[in-house]
Amino acid sequence: MGSSGCRKGAVVIDNSSAFRMDDDVPLVVPEVNPEDVKWHKGIIANPNCSTIQMVVALYPIHKEKNIKKVIVSTYQAVSGAGATAIKDLEEETRAYFEGKYYYPEALPNHIAFNVIPHIDVFLDNDFTKEEMKMFNETRKIMHAPDIRVSATCARVPVFYGHSEAVTIETEDPITPEEAREILKNAPGVIVEDDPSNNVYPMPIEVAGKDEVFVGRIRKDLAFENGLSMWVVADNLRKGAATNAVQIAELLVEYGLV
Ligand code: L14
């Protein structure tokens, strides 16, 4: 293995969590840390879906206002857990109306008309692995080793599209107007924020799209320099496939393949 990958020059963009925190493997979201693809040694890791959409929205704010803390709750679609989890939601919903019992095959609990605060496995600190991915991967992608991320990841009965309620504390003060302006000019972000006309991002609208959608931008009431927002993206597109394709395009652009 040389710096250009395997002997034949192939590069692997890996969508699993296996190599993401490996010091020798770049973890890349092209809107945030495109240059990191340059030091790959044959593998580039594609981050976790919930982390990708969050950093696309947070990084432009971080660059200008220095984010210290993030508190995030996710509302994750079943498709993240695969085709059998999609079947779980479908079949269990049908069974519910037919008065029948359905035993979930992929998800750890019943998902129809329910919310499950459990994604991936539980760890020693009582967070789940999914929640700790948001902590660790955010730091690595944003090159921000001191950011504290406290996540609660929940599964909701939605087929496609993860939603996230995100609250940040910044070092420098930030107004919602400033945040809206920053995000309107940010790569890969679409601001949909007109609550008086019932306009805010929702998974059903965002499914099938490649961008990260942000709305409900408002001053937070718990932190001095606090801001809250609602972030939605298609977990299979920007959260997985689109991001991987963008990484491949970067390799071509930089002449690395
Ligand atoms: O890429 O929704 O780390 O169950 C593992 C769990 C993707 C989503 C990852 C889920 C994930 C997933």
Closest atom of ligand 1 relative to the 85 alpha carbon:
4
Ligand 1 pocket, CB under 6 A: 17, 48-49, 76, 80-81, 119-120, 130, 133
Helix 129-142 to helix 49-65 angle, to the nearest 10 degrees?
Answer: 40
Q: Give the pLDDT band of residue 1 (cuts 50, 70, 90).
A: very low
pTM of the shown model: 0.96
User: Mean per-residue pLDDT for 40-62?
Assistant: 98
Pocket mutation for ligand 1, best pick of 13, 14, 17, 160 (most atoms within 8 Å of C-beta): 17
Pocket mutation for ligand 1, best pick of 52, 118, 119 (most atoms within 8 Å of C-beta): 119
Residues 99-131 have pLDDT tens digits of 999 999 999 999 999 999 999 999 999 999 999
Q: Which domains does the chain have, with CATH numbers?
A: 3-77+115-253 (3.30.360.10), 85-113 (no CATH)
What is the Cα–Cα distance from 123 to 11, expressed in whole angstroms? Answer: 32
Closest CA to 91 of 74, 76, 78: 78
Phi-psi region of 188 (alpha: psi -120 to 50; beta: other; left: phi over 0): left
Q: Which residue has a Cα nearest atom 9 of ligand 1?
A: 48
- Our answer to whether residue 162 is catalytic in this structure is yes
DSSP states of 213-231 as a string? EEEEEEE-SSSTTEEEEEE
- Our answer to whether residue 49 is catalytic in this structure is yes
Q: What is the pLDDT of residue 160?
A: 98
Closest atom of ligand 1 relative to the 133 alpha carbon:
3
Q: Which of 40, 49, 62, 153 is catalytic?
A: 49
